[in-house]
Amino acid sequence: MKLHILGCHSATPRSAAFPSSQVLEIGNELLLIDAGEGMQIQLRKYKHKFNKIKHIFISHLHGDHFYGLVGFLSTLRLIGREKEIHIYAPVGLKEIITLQFKITQTDINYPLYFHELSAIESTQILSTDKFTISTIPLTHRIYTNGYLVREQPALRKLNIEVVRQYPEIETWAFHNLKRGKDFIREDGSLIPNHLLTLPPPPPKSYAYCSDTQYKPDIVPLIKGVDLLYHEATFLESEKDLAIKTRHSTARQAAQIAREAGVKQLVLGHFSSRYPDESLFTKEAQDIFSPVAIAQEGKSFEI
């Protein structure tokens, strides 16, 4: 699992600062999370293949989180996309996209499915053989969700040196062993699975918490995740503005990370009023470590 930052700044795009958008790489699949303006330019710049994107997740319907989406969907048509696309987003996005395509007489030549969200409690919205995704209800000026991605538990690994000590264990039995089953010998005796296999690495997890006011009740949902991306639009010196606009400060993001016991915190969604983004790191490190700053083109191994 690997996180790639396409954009991590708030409100408006600038020459070297793009609004929110990122790609989460899981195996051979790319999940697109938010789609701020310029998103597909960033995909091309950092060489992420459009065809590997099947699922798109939009946190909320403020423009800096989805204005790049209609252009991306149009490009997929132009490059001959045939595979389906699934979009998970608040109620209203389907109407917006459909109207844009209707007025511009744009015909989509691939299956496009909208999964509109309105629940106010955490809900699992996708489950595959590789991962699950659930919503993280956030509090912003409009209906907003973060997203929690968890890998499915991996199969156990064969302890091949031990397995070879038992000639009767042939390759046909390997699959069952990896799935945790014991091996039953011809005489009816049993070889416990834990003697023949090794435990898999623990499943990785990632939590994306975009625009939200300080919201400690999300802590149980994101407890112990490997990587937390949390918005930090402001510093504590502008805490009153954060409260007014329902955003968070770097210190508040760090408090969430500490209370949830996450392994690493990444801060993003910075206001353009701050010329030195290292100030966000300094503020957060007083509360939690390790903490990193999101930057366009930066990647994080999870």
Residues taking part in catalysis: 64
Phi, psi dihedrals of residue 301, rounded to the nearest 5°: -75, 135
**What's the Rg (C-alpha) of the chain?**
22
The tokens describing 107, both together, are: 């015909």
The tokens describing 185, both together, are: 């010998």
Spell out the alpha helix ranges (H) of the chain: 39-45, 69-78, 93-103, 160-163, 174-178, 193-196, 239-245, 250-260, 278-285
What's the rounded Cα separation, in Å, for the pair 301 and 169?
A: 37
The residues with which 150 forms a beta bridge, in sequence order, are: 132, 205
- 189 burial type by CB count under 10 A (0-12 exposed, 13-18 middle, 19+ buried): exposed
The tokens describing 261, both together, are: 């016991």
What's the rounded Cα separation, in Å, for the pair 21 and 297?
A: 11
Sign of the C-alpha dihedral computed for residues 129, 130, 132 and 133 taken in this order: negative
What's the rounded Cα separation, in Å, for the pair 256 and 292?
A: 15
Query: CB of 74 within 8 A of CB of 112?
Result: no
How many other CB atoms sit within 10 Å of the CB of residue 98?
A: 12
Query: CB of 33 within 8 A of CB of 57?
Result: yes
Query: CB of 267 within 8 A of CB of 250?
Result: yes
- Single-letter amino acid, residue 116: E
